[in-house]
Amino acid sequence: MLEIGTKAPAFELPDQNGKVHTLEEYKGKKVILYFYPRDNTPGCTKQACGFGELYPQFQEKDAIVIGISKDSVASHKKFEEKYNLPFPLLADPELTAIQAYDVWQEKNMYGKKTMGVVRTTYLIDEQGIIVKAFGKVKAAENPAQMLGEI
């Protein structure tokens, strides 16, 4: 996980509609950048829907929510449509942002070691500095937790 007080790594990734997003374009706003393992899995769905339900409150606080996983643009589009998600889901199949933010790590699933995305959420301030970092977050609790942090 990246350290608090460091500059957030730049990224340039497509969302569920194919529109490319960069961290730079959100300068002047707080950014909740959350990394999750896969679209349409129980934990990831709870987390995304939680952010979706609270999204108007994030907007009131001038904060942007962005989800990133290694799923494809097409997978993100289906996920967004199925749950009516109001924020960008960025596709990172090459793991560029995932690795830059140090969330691609060894995981232990039922005694088998595999590499994967560790559910992690960063709060980035208006100047692009990481001000909060939460690793191994609880999917269902994370959206309300982040709203409390801003």
What sign results for the dihedral spanned by CA atoms 35, 37, 39, 45?
negative
| Annotation says 49 is catalytic | no
Residue tagged 């995981």 (tokens):
107
Do the Cβ atoms of 134 and 142 come closer than 8 Å? yes
Of 44, 63, 98, 124, catalytic: 44
Q: What is the secondary structure of 65-116 as a DSSP string?
A: EEEEESS-HHHHHHHHHHHT--S-EEE-TT-HHHHHTT-EEEEEETTEEEEE
Q: Which residues contact 52 (CB under 8 A, 6 or more apart)?
A: 83, 84, 85, 86, 87
One-letter amino acid of 56 = P
Coil/strand/helix, residue 59? helix
Active site amino acids: 44
